[in-house]
Structure 1
Amino acid sequence: MKRSNLDLWVRKTEGLPVLDRAAVEALQLAGLNALLERERARGGFYSGLPGGLASLSDLASLPFTTQADLAARGSGMVLVSQSEILRVLTETSGTTGPAKRVFYTPGDCENTVSFFAAGLSELVFPGSRTMVCMPFSGPYGLGELISAAVESLGASPIKTGVGKSCGELSDILRRERPDTYVGMPAPLLAMLKVCGRGTLRRALVSGDACSLSVEQGVEARLGTRLFPHYGSRETVFGGAVTCPAHEGMHLRENHMIAEIVDEEGNVLPRGEYGELVITTIGMAAMPLIRYRTGDYTRIFKEPCPCKSPLLRIDRVTRKGPGAEILKLDEALFGLDGLVDFHAKYAGSAVEILALTLAEPAQAEIEAAARRALPEVEVRVTARKCTRSDRPLYPGKRSLENAEAL
């Protein structure tokens, strides 16, 4: 099996003659110490940290950065002048608290385009046509960065965006004849169920958690393996991507150090599940040190069949209220006739609106939902999907009003 294309990208980007585990960790330690020096000189949020560490294991002695820190004191984490800031992304929490703001330089965005191109090169080829079903929000938005990566590979991006109706997607598939899809997982499965695969043969999914039932449903309809990707605003959208072995996602380790911790913050050994913590040593504008992502996964302890020395993370999930929607995704998207659903709390009950391919099998959907959430009352309303229907979630899927429980 050939090695991940990410290996060649890391070697070229970092000027390494050989890429092995020792080279990766030496690169990370040098990057971490350079970052700590910058932080002390800047005198900002992280100025109280030591100016350097003797080994990567010493990273565990540093305090965590939380999402609350990022929201309340994010401006103190910026290491460049305002004139060097290219883009600011704001994410609200849905509460009255302060919003998280993440800052990027042109170099941060260019590094992400380069990383995207390395990952996409496993499934996007010169002359191919890629359906980009991600938000297009202006220069250096996510859709724009993906499209730039596609173009750098000699392929053509079809800038579809998000929120298109079933009819619009069907027309795009017929008119543009894409062979590759990049977008969120659940909308891809819904599109394949309603519109058929057309000329689509390959897909990379990101932007939301992907349940096993969604992954299996997509692969059965495409006839090829899916390429999951993990990214977040804090990683400038690019964090880890699948190789042709399809056994986890290789981390972007030249720009990021990953740890897995338990609920008390203790670092867990490879192979154990916990919360993903990242230190973004390769980010210029707003590097984060030991940032608790709120995402749950594990780092594989076994080497990848592709022989890459880059560590891999497993499927990313959520805990707490965010886990409930994943339970429903797993249970409901495995039903062949279900296209999409939206779930919300109404008092202590969960109300589900489901779109189906044929006449609504409301009892079947309700039974599956009750098995997924046996501790709550479930009410289902189902109707047949039409050409005018759009995805029931514009972005990440969630069980709304979970705090009402």
Structure 2
Amino acid sequence: MIPAIEKASLEEIKQLQEQKLKQTLEYLSGNSPYYKALFAKHKVDIRSIKTIEDLQRLPVTTKTDLQENNDAFFCVPMHKIIDYATTSGTLGNPVTFGLTDKDLDRLAYNEAISFACAGIQEGDVVQLMTTLDRKFMAGLAYFLGLRKLGAGVIRVGAGIPELQWDSILKYNPKYLIAVPSFLLKMIEFAEANHIDYNASSVKGVICIGESLRNQDFSPSVLAEKITGKWNVQLFSTYASTEMSTAFTECQQLKGGHHHPELIITEVLDEDNKPVAEGESGELTITTLGIEALPLLRFKTGDIVKLHTDPCLCGRNTMRVGPVVGRKQHMIKYKGTTLYPPAMHDLLTYFEAIQNHIIEISTNDLGTDEILIRIAAKENTEELLTQIKDHFRAKLRVTPKVEFAPADVLHKLVFSPMSRKPTHFIDNRN
């Protein structure tokens, strides 16, 4: 199930995107109060924007813009909204996204071709280990996509290893959709309860919310810990509510494939200019074919690198590499630039660490301070020394590390108000 456009030539892909960009600009100009005002303020003649390169003449949209002007981004009357979703904003309050009936169809199409990219086929049974409630878009998107693909869905929801295993052993799913760190808890429960997990029906896992790859696409420590015990194939996927689009790995495991019929991607530097090919920058997207709340040059806050070399799967679309980090989460510590994913991966290396949280604050000098709180099997000075030495060797700096009660950290990491584990808290001024 590879859409023809994804196997087309690069010139044909560009032509399609430019045609859809023209339609998007006309739609925004006619229906979006926010973009109408933006075009007027900057004296933008949308007829002059004809190519992907011309996008650079348009202003970017930030998460703060979206939060401060949420209602003005809607392009349809509220009676056309079929589903309401929310995502976090930069100013504390969540941002509301509405989806029309056509938007839900587009969401289903996106997930269907994304799951097919990872190898899920009609008739496969998939266990959905994430929530469909609390106004999260992801769980609904997964369900709609699997339904469109013709796969069976077991809606178990998040957490509770015993319930997950009961369902796996009863319904024999071929794939799971899960947060990868939770798979370690699945393995731990199986071993404690004499479940032969390598003899189970599960062959692959679509992993959400946490990175599985290093920048060279080699497996992360987390991925190696899982596959070192459980013989399953792990597929990484990257998406966000704002995009209503996913970038999912194919069998080659070399980055998430772009769906050019759904989204235009740019990678920008600090001055909102395109980075050189092969360089990292902030992923900036323009959504295509969305009715309720389309976005133009929206800065996601995620630092990524694009890969344009041909993929052996036959798709000619570019691929998004592993997220380096979130721009707003960048840490300057003792002269070194750090991102939480790198620290998270180092902590996952230690078998003795059961859970962790990285807290960033501003010290008396006005610079970034790092505190890592860990729950460990045994609280020993030797472990603290090993962790600090490992940080010094890999990242050239040593943050403050202290032990914390396991139950306290568990409540912070697995908040009922988040569909993903929270391993990073930013308390900076």
- Same-fold status (TM-score > 0.5): yes
Which range moves more in the overlay, 23-32 or 216-225? 216-225
TM-score (norm 1): 0.83
Q: Does residue 45 in structure 1 map to residue 46 in structure 2?
A: no
Indicate conservation of the 8 Å contact 1:325/1:397, yes or no: no
Among 252, 257, 280, which residue is 2:264 paired with? Answer: 257
Which range moves more in the overlay, 110-119 or 318-327? 318-327
Which residue of 1 is the match for residue 106 of structure 2?
Answer: 111
> What is the correspondence of 1:166-177 to structure 2 with a 5 Å cutoff?
166-177=161-172
CA deviations on 1:293-313 (whole Å, 9 max, x unpaired) are 001111113222223121111
Indicate conservation of the 8 Å contact 1:349/1:379, yes or no: no
Between 1 and 2, higher relative CO (CA 8 Å, sep ≥ 6) is seen in: 1
> What is the correspondence of 1:161-200 to structure 2 with a 5 Å cutoff?
161-162=157-158, 164-195=159-190, 197-198=197-198, 199=200, 200=202
* Aligned mates of 1:389, 1:168 — CA distance in 2: 20
> What is the correspondence of 1:331-350 to structure 2 with a 5 Å cutoff?
331-336=346-351, 338-344=353-359, 350=371
Which residue of 2 is the match for residue 14 of structure 1?
Answer: none
Return the letter of the residue paired with 2:237: H
Indicate conservation of the 8 Å contact 2:203/2:233, yes or no: no
Distance 1:326 1:334, change over 3 A: same
Return the letter of the residue paired with 1:402: D
CA deviations on 1:256-288 (whole Å, 9 max, x unpaired) are 000001122111133111110000022111111
Q: Does residue 287 in structure 1 map to residue 297 in structure 2?
A: no
Q: Does residue 226 in structure 1 map to residue 245 in structure 2?
A: no
Q: Does residue 73 in structure 1 map to residue 97 in structure 2?
A: no
Which residue of 1 is the match for residue 126 of structure 2?
Answer: 130
CA deviations on 1:203-231 (whole Å, 9 max, x unpaired) are 11123444522223333334344211111
Q: Does residue 368 in structure 1 map to residue 370 in structure 2?
A: no
* Aligned mates of 2:108, 2:121 — CA distance in 1: 16
* 3-state DSSP of counterpart to 1:217: helix
* Aligned mates of 2:386, 2:292 — CA distance in 1: 49
Among 326, 338, 343, which residue is 2:341 paired with? Answer: 326
Q: Does residue 62 in structure 1 map to residue 58 in structure 2?
A: yes
CA deviations on 1:68-114 (whole Å, 9 max, x unpaired) are 0000112222212212112222234475x553222221211211212
Q: Does residue 396 in structure 1 map to residue 415 in structure 2?
A: no
Distance 1:208 1:287, change over 3 A: farther
* 3-state DSSP of counterpart to 2:306: coil
TM-superposed deviation, 1:124 = 2.4
Distance 1:248 1:350, change over 3 A: same
Which residue of 1 is the match for residue 97 of structure 2?
Answer: 102
* Aligned mates of 2:30, 2:133 — CA distance in 1: 34
Indicate conservation of the 8 Å contact 1:259/1:276, yes or no: yes
Return the letter of the residue paired with 2:176: Y
* Aligned mates of 1:251, 1:274 — CA distance in 2: 17
* 3-state DSSP of counterpart to 2:69: helix
Indicate conservation of the 8 Å contact 2:119/2:250, yes or no: no
Which range moves more in the overlay, 86-95 or 43-52? 86-95
Which residue of 1 is the match for residue 208 of structure 2?
Answer: 206
Indicate conservation of the 8 Å contact 2:413/2:422, yes or no: no
Report how many residues are paired. 386
TM-superposed deviation, 1:192 = 3.0
* Aligned mates of 2:177, 2:236 — CA distance in 1: 10
| Structure 1 segments unaligned to the other structure (5+ residues) | 12-17
Q: Cα RMSD between the aligned structures?
A: 3.1
TM-superposed deviation, 1:366 = 6.3
Among 63, 81, 84, which residue is 2:80 paired with? Answer: 84
| Structure 2 segments unaligned to the other structure (5+ residues) | 192-196, 214-219, 331-337, 364-368
Which residue of 1 is the match for residue 334 of structure 2?
Answer: none
TM-superposed deviation, 1:336 = 4.0
Return the letter of the residue paired with 2:426: A
* Aligned mates of 1:240, 1:349 — CA distance in 2: 31
TM-score (norm 2): 0.79
